[in-house]
């Protein structure tokens, strides 16, 4: 009887959402209706990057839902749910003249669409060669505020295993400085709880992939999850 009850609870527990593959963040963080005063526009409608990507693929790139789902590394039914949510939010913003604000949610940004396609099999990222990931750290745990983290962990991964951890003090927080610094220290991926679109684009300009939506776990744990293709997240965790 106890086993049956425990099994029922486990079955009912919500599964953590895997990060969605996104090609690019939106060009702007907020859109506001013209001719409406800022204090009269009402609360912004929050659109997640995954919802923006679903609209881009289906309504802009005109892909069939099966193909769009493959690019985002989700099931056909999950894509349909994300797409429907995006359309409802956009309709609400248009009808009620509300601003539209974008949030990262749980997104994995890849350099090219080919990279997204290669990684679309169950979100499995098989690392056969050495790779360095950078994670903002506060006492060995993912720092909530990316730009003001007291230190960064540069973690070397090889063959899906964490091989070495090197803690470094970051430079002063100024636009564009940290992405260049991370690149100069050999990292090809940065993991964060949350990050704005402009910051993501700066990392991409320095040839660095961005993974957002990570939980406040020890940096080595996050690096190992990333190495195994199991990194999950629960939304934009940036507190700034």
CA 62 – CA 30 distance, rounded (Å): 24
Provide the terminal-to-terminal Cα distance of the chain, rounded to the nearest Å. 47
Q: What is the pLDDT of residues 139-153, one digit of tens each?
A: 999 998 888 899 999
Three-class SS of 132-153: EEEEEEECCEECCCHHHCCEEE
| Per-residue pLDDT at 181 exceeds 90 | yes
Average pLDDT over residues 199-225: 87
Average pLDDT over residues 80-86: 92
- Grouping H, G, I as helix, E, B as strand and the rest as coil, residue 220 is helix
CA 72 – CA 25 distance, rounded (Å): 13
Where exactly are the structural domains of the chain?
23-105, 131-227
Q: Give residue 38's pLDDT band: very low, low, confident or very high (50, 70, 90).
A: low
Which residue, 20, 193, 194, 26, is CA-closest to 101? 26
The class of domain 23-105 in CATH terms is mainly alpha
pLDDT greater at residue 220 or residue 120: 220
Average pLDDT over residues 194-205: 83
- Domain made up of 131-227: CATH architecture: 2-Layer Sandwich (3.30)
Strand (E) or helix (H) holding 45: strand 45-48
Q: Give residue 104's pLDDT band: very low, low, confident or very high (50, 70, 90).
A: confident
At 40 the pLDDT is 66
DSSP readout, 99-123?
Answer: -EEEE--SEEE-SSHHHHHHT-STT
Number of Cβ within 10 Å of residue 224's Cβ equals 18
At 197 the pLDDT is 78
CB 107 within 8 A of CB 47: no
Same fold, 23-105 and 131-227: no
Average pLDDT over residues 110-121: 42
Average pLDDT over residues 104-114: 60
| Per-residue pLDDT at 193 exceeds 90 | no
Max distance between CA atoms of the chain, in angstroms, equals 63
pLDDT greater at residue 149 or residue 37: 149
Q: Give residue 194's pLDDT band: very low, low, confident or very high (50, 70, 90).
A: confident
Give the Å distances, CA to CA, from 73 to 19, 55, 78, 123: 9, 15, 10, 7
Question: Among residues of the chain, what percentage have pLDDT more than 90?
Answer: 37
Average pLDDT over residues 27-31: 81
At 113 the pLDDT is 43
Q: What is the pLDDT of residues 4-28, one digit of tens each?
A: 433 433 444 444 556 778 887 887 7
CA 141 – CA 128 distance, rounded (Å): 26
- Grouping H, G, I as helix, E, B as strand and the rest as coil, residue 131 is strand
Summary mean pLDDT of the chain: 79
């Amino acid at each position: 009887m106890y086993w049956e009850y425990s099994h029922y609870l486990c079955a009912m527990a919500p599964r953590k959402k895997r990060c969605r593959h996104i090609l690019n963040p939106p060009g702007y963080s907020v859109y506001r209706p013209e001719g409406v005063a800022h204090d009269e526009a009402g609360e912004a409608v929050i659109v997640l990057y995954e919802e923006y990507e679903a609209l881009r693929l289906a309504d802009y790139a005109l892909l069939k839902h099966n193909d769009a789902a493959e690019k985002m590394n989700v099931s056909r039914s999950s894509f349909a749910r994300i797409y429907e949510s995006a359309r409802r939010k956009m309709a609400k913003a248009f009808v009620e003249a509300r601003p539209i604000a974008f949030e990262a949610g749980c997104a994995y940004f890849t350099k090219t669409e080919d990279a997204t396609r290669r990684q679309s099999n169950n979100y499995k990222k098989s690392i056969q060669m050495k790779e360095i990931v950078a994670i903002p750290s506060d006492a060995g745990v993912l720092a909530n505020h990316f730009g003001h983290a007291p230190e960064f962990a540069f973690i070397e991964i090889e063959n899906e295993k964490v091989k070495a951890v090197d803690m470094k003090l970051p430079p002063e927080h100024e636009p564009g400085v940290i992405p260049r610094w991370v690149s100069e220290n050999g990292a090809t991926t940065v993991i964060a709880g949350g990050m704005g679109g402009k910051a993501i684009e700066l990392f991409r300009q320095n040839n660095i992939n961005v993974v957002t939506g990570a939980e406040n776990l020890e940096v080595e744990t996050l690096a190992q999850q990333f190495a195994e293709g199991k990194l999950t997240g629960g939304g934009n965790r940036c507190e700034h």
